Chain A
């Protein structure tokens, strides 16, 4: 009898210790932050300062792994299907909302769905800006739109790829301003920028940081932005909202996600950690150098932003529909 009681006591002790240990011991292993884009791109350059700061705060190595492919689908699918134990995180761009919709349009089984993720925090939200070459005849956004209305399908623009972020921004504008433009997709933001600089297309929707040097050098002109507010580094550029096109709202945002089903205590720990990350001076310095303002949203706020953005983008993708080429 005594032995049984001792046994029960030991087991109880072990269980309690186990639970307590499990609760407080996250993280015990190195964490992987998956960046679904190639190194040097926006997602990657944002992921690295995040990882560095998280490492300091969580006191465990946080490694960035680039799982690239299919405009981010490969990396996103990898995290969606990994064990939701909090050790595999995702740094996603707004394309996370686009890809499942695109899959639906093509009748493909979706690579992943938005519901497979638990949002942790938003880190940055760059509104895109519309740029044209300085030699072009349009000096304001209104001139551009009026011209586009007069000559449907004649003004061309480049993008980082079909259904990509830069394409969707323009698609939203086309719908909001009731214009039709000619889309020339390129394989990535870099080639899209090269195309407009070389005069092969007329316009481009781009993240501000990338085009800033060219704006300063006088090669490109920014006409308007897709944000709610004006871009900090471009105070003279109005927003489409100001000009009356309220539906043209688009951000290239970056946020940290975990797999759905990650235990609540771990999610809370991660959210706390992210709050400390954006307050970290090293992190702020790194984002400054990238000319990317930190926009931090968490919990309810992030969920609302994410949902609204997802709805807008889903509608946009459905409107674009399947592209039939001639």
Chain B
């Protein structure tokens, strides 16, 4: 314990030295801008700015890049809440309840809760990272394709909780998303699927153009032409802060989101994107009034925002403890380290304590910096909404197109966004929920890949899922959850969803 404290002090002495502090600050600011820009998410931000760090020494470079990653997670919630445009894929769930809160005039409260939730999650998860990195990393490495597959199947179950109203509609949307996710190169055999000769579709439809189009563009399409433009919200200062009840409502979701996000984040692979989706589902399942979700439930903002921030710390665990690239973002960070002559690996913590502990300390510092940055910015951003809509939305549109284009320098991505914008517009009119589509697009390629890799590993034996303890446990949990949901059928009660639907139709229970 004392050794850890000693190391931490060493870390803080590095992190609080003015040059490093400056770079952390720069990283946070740039990250916030990147997060606010639609389409350009943390991966794009870090990749774009990687070359800018070549002239710096290793610690400053890593600290700045981590700041960008964090800042992007904080910033992504801003556009989600204010304009229903996801700043990155992980902010999609915040679009739903966050934007609903904004429409009710609680934009400031939503932003503040998101900021505070992100801060708590960020800080707590860094503490966990500090103490638990090596043992957690070894555990995380044991997640191979079969375990991944089981986890993702659990993720599919999450889809059931993502929409209000008709289950059939939600499943239809999920299926659409899963189908869209099948476009691209089949990783196992090299066949191009549904690409119709367009090389850019080889990697599939990116989740970013889909999310921005489905949520952001469709919002613009639906709102821009209304005869009565949306009422400009002019909140007073008191209205900017969350009420006592709202803080109370946010408390448990923040803690749950933190734990959940961290656990999901440490798993190698891209699973950390689904942390916010899973948190949303958990919050809805545990809520006393689940029908609030979709209309502006505080838990629907607090949980996912905390989850996606603590997932970022979780993602660093295998990277720092073992030098294993556990996802695209840690891979870029590892590359940054290599470029600066730091060889990542299991000995990183021992050989480069200033780097590791300086990094940890700068994450604490970064979280504080971002909280201080974001809270006053709440007022600034909300004032942005005062611009008359006919002048505001062209600007938003420019940034959407620009952001989506910039990620891959690809016009095809812009077209995908346009098509999904049209789809999202139509879905709104027909009262379908777009969120399951996004989850489907993310999950489909991952599930298929995990299944086929598992079978390749076992030479075709399906028994592999039962011979590996972690995979079996996860699958058992999934089966249990499905059985539990059938309980209502057996006991002849109506579950809350049907009660809601009946209430909508004005029937009596």
Contact = CB atoms under 8 A, between A and B. Distances in A.
Contact flag (A, B; Cβ within 8 A):
yes
Contact of B189 (A40, A217, A323): A323
Contact of A183 (B144, B326, B341, B456): B456
Interface string A36-75: 0011110011001000000000000000111111110110
A66 B190 contact: no
Interface stretch (B191-199, B251-259, B307-315): B191-199
Contacts of A176: none
A13 B452 CA distance: 69
Contacts of B455: 326
A319 to B, nearest CB: 14
A161 interface: yes
A325 B50 contact: no
A324 B46 CA distance: 38
B341 A289 contact: yes
Given A74-B202, A191-B268, A39 B459 contact: no
A185 B332 CA distance: 21
Contacts of A182: 456-457, 459
A257 interface: no
Interface string B165-204: 0000000000000000000010111111000010110110
A216 interface: yes
A39 B344 contact: no
B142 A185 contact: no
B460 interface: yes
B409 interface: yes
A70 B201 CA distance: 8
Contact of B339 (A45, A71, A156, A216): A45
A290 interface: yes
A206 to B, nearest CB: 12
Nearest to A102: B190
Interface string A282-296: 000010011100000
B235 interface: no
B493 interface: no
Interface string A206-249: 00010011101101000000000000000000000000000000
Interface string B110-123: 00000000000000
Contact of A194 (B189, B324, B341): B324
A69 B202 contact: yes
Interface in B293-345: 318, 322-326, 328, 331-332, 334-336, 338-341, 343-345
Nearest to A163: B190
Contact of B192 (A108, A156, A198): A108
B48 to A, nearest CB: 7
Interface string B435-457: 00000000000000100110111
A69 B199 contact: yes
B456 to A, nearest CB: 5
B431 to A, nearest CB: 35
Interface in A67-85: 67-71, 73-74, 77
Contacts of A77: 199
Contacts of A322: 189
B331 to A, nearest CB: 4
A315 to B, nearest CB: 17
B496 interface: no
Contact of B453 (A70, A186, A214): A186
Contacts of A162: 187-190
Given A162-B189, A214-B323, A289-B338, A40 B203 contact: no
B189 A66 contact: no
A38 B328 contact: yes
B47 interface: yes
A201 interface: yes
Given A40-B50, A162-B190, A217-B347, A200 B145 contact: yes
B409 A40 contact: no
Contacts of B488: none
Interface string A140-164: 0000000000000110100001110
A179 interface: no
B191 A106 contact: yes
B243 interface: no
A71 B185 contact: yes
Contact of A290 (B48, B191, B339): B339
Contact of A216 (B187, B347, B410): B347
A171 to B, nearest CB: 13
A172 interface: no
Nearest to A161: B187
Contacts of A193: 324-325
A200 B345 contact: no
A162 B192 CA distance: 12
A185 B202 contact: no
B506 interface: no
A187 B468 CA distance: 22
A195 interface: yes
B442 to A, nearest CB: 14
Contacts of B325: 190-191, 193-194
A92 to B, nearest CB: 15
B144 A197 contact: no
A137 interface: no
B54 interface: yes
A183 B33 CA distance: 43
Contacts of B353: none
B339 A70 contact: no
B134 interface: no
Contacts of B50: 39-40
Contacts of B54: 48, 286
A184 B322 contact: no
B460 A326 contact: yes
B18 interface: no
A66 B331 contact: no
B456 A74 contact: no
Interface string B237-260: 000000000000000000000000
A161 B191 CA distance: 12
A200 B189 contact: no
A108 B156 CA distance: 34
Contact of B410 (A69, A199, A286, A291): A69
A182 B347 CA distance: 31
A111 interface: yes
A213 B323 contact: yes
Nearest to A289: B341
A67 B199 CA distance: 11
Interface string B197-232: 101101100000000000000000000000000000
Contacts of A38: 47, 328
A69 B453 CA distance: 21
B457 A74 contact: no
A74 B324 contact: no
12 contacts: A69-B200, A69-B202, A185-B456, A188-B331, A191-B268, A191-B269, A195-B144, A213-B346, A214-B323, A289-B338, A291-B338, A323-B188
Given A111-B199, A184-B145, A190-B325, 14 more contacts: A39-B335, A40-B336, A44-B335, A67-B408, A68-B203, A70-B192, A74-B202, A190-B328, A193-B325, A194-B325, A198-B143, A199-B144, A216-B343, A219-B346
Top-8 shortest CB links A-B: A70-B202, A213-B345, A39-B47, A190-B325, A40-B335, A200-B144, A40-B332, A198-B141
